């Protein structure tokens, strides 16, 4: 009988996790499809404020445009900062030529060959649909057919003459890509999972804690940062203001698990779980944090994989070094195929595993030994275990 009850409980838990994700695919869709190039995060900012306000003790917007939601913890002795950048790669209007075509500059990094046949939205006094194209292959010289285009070779066509374009569009307006969400098998395919997926993780982890009647171990500063794609700028500003003791970045990482990849090149694999960052171009993750996250995954049966990203970085690189004395920094990443394209793809299992790990991190920091001296670490018993077994109290809520 006891075994049946345990099995039933596990089944209910797993079904609950699946229902949670299904119920929130709509939020995932809204976040990814919202607009907000670096420095122009208006649409996504409004959506995040609307969504996170009911879950937080306070929500503010700083001078650079970061949204900072504070969730009071069990203790205010330390601070947790968790950053998910809300900007997406995009463009800025550089010039409007005599025929109404728009010349652009990039806001973030692009692989130019992925831009051919891309639909976009130009955000002028009203939003206008446009498309990006290049010289047709039919009129290319042989040497042109093998030449790689540059981002600045592309123009945006609004289908209007210059006089009509200038009624709505000005130099300096932003441009974002169009890419609606499509469910493909067990995956979600849409633009800007980088990094609306990270925003989703942060919102849903907070929601999970609040709805379970829990609190983070310490005061949590949930930062939806701006301008990450052009240099981690929002995270730097927020870190200087908050001065966190612990910091987490939420972002995507490369899943190069497609044909032609070598075993050492994959970085991560879709469907194998959340990615615990070990290394990237801006961060050597604190080894204590890596072991802490691994222990939580093992304790909670959360599928995970380790991430070493040869190039690129996240807000963790800023949070680690812009806090006086440094913060103990780590990152939770969603494995994604086709990064920085309008067809980014993530597996639902990996997304849910990332939510579960993040929520566990927020509520378990006091259970870990963060000293430098000890090399072998284990999680202290949970508080409820301490109450059930008083002898275990000696290892609970360790002093940091």
Distance of CA 169 to the CA centre of its chain: 30
Residue numbers annotated as active site = 228
User: Quick one: tokens of 172?
Assistant: 């300096």
Listed in sequence order, the DSSP H helices in the chain are: 2-33, 42-52, 142-145, 162-168, 193-211, 233-242, 287-300, 316-321, 348-362, 383-388
DSSP for 53-98 reads GGGSSEEEE-TT--EEEEE--SEEEEEEEEEEE----EEEEEEE-T
Instruction: Note whether 82 and 202 are within 8 A (CB).
Output: yes
Rounded CA separation 242/245 (Å): 9
Three-class secondary structure of residue 147 per DSSP? coil
User: Quick one: tokens of 293?
Assistant: 């996250």
Strands 75-85 and 90-96 come out as: unpaired
Three-class secondary structure of residue 201 per DSSP? helix
User: Quick one: tokens of 65?
Assistant: 């445009």
Rounded CA separation 59/68 (Å): 6
What count of other Cβ atoms lies within 10 Å of the Cβ of residue 4? 8
Q: What is the sign, positive or negative, of the torsion defined by CA atoms of 247, 220, 376, 290?
A: negative
């Amino acid at each position: 009988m006891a075994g049946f009850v345990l099995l039933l409980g596990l089944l209910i838990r797993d079904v609950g996790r699946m229902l949670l994700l299904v119920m929130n695919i709509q939020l995932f869709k809204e976040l990814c499809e919202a607009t907000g190039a670096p420095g122009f995060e208006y649409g996504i900012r409004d959506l995040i404020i609307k969504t996170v306000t009911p879950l937080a003790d306070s929500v503010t917007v700083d001078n650079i445009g970061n949204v900072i939601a504070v969730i009071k913890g069990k203790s205010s002795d330390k601070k947790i900062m968790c950053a998910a950048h809300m900007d997406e790669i995009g463009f800025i209007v550089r010039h409007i030529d005599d025929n109404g075509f728009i010349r652009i500059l990039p806001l973030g990094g692009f692989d130019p060959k992925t831009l051919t046949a891309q639909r976009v939205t130009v955000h002028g006094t009203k939003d206008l649909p446009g498309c990006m194209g290049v010289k047709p292959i039919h009129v290319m010289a042989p040497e042109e057919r093998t030449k790689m285009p540059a981002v600045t070779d592309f123009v945006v066509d609004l289908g209007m003459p210059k006089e009509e374009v200038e009624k709505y569009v000005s130099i300096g307006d932003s441009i974002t890509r169009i890419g609606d969400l499509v469910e493909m098998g067990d995956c979600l395919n849409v633009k800007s999972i980088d990094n609306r997926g990270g925003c989703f993780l942060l919102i849903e982890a907070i929601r999970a804690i609040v709805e379970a009647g829990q609190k983070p171990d310490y005061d949590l500063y949930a930062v939806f940062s701006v301008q990450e794609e052009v240099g981690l700028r929002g995270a730097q500003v927020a870190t200087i203001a908050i001065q966190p003791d612990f910091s987490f970045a939420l972002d995507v990482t490369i899943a190069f698990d497609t044909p032609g990849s070598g075993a050492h090149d994959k970085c991560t694999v879709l469907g194998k779980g959340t990615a615990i960052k070990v290394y990237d171009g801006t961060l050597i993750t604190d080894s204590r944090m890596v072991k802490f996250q691994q222990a939580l995954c093992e304790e909670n049966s959360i599928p995970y994989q380790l991430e070493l990203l040869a190039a690129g970085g996240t807000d963790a690189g800023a949070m680690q070094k812009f806090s006086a004395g440094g913060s103990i920094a780590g990152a939770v990443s969603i494995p994604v195929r086709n990064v920085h394209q309008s067809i980014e793809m993530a597996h639902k299992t990996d997304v849910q595993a990332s939510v579960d790990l993040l929520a566990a991190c927020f509520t378990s920091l006091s259970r870990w030994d963060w000293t430098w001296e000890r090399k072998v670490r284990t999680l202290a018993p949970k508080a409820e275990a301490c109450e059930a077994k008083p002898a275990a109290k000696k290892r609970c809520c360790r002093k940091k």
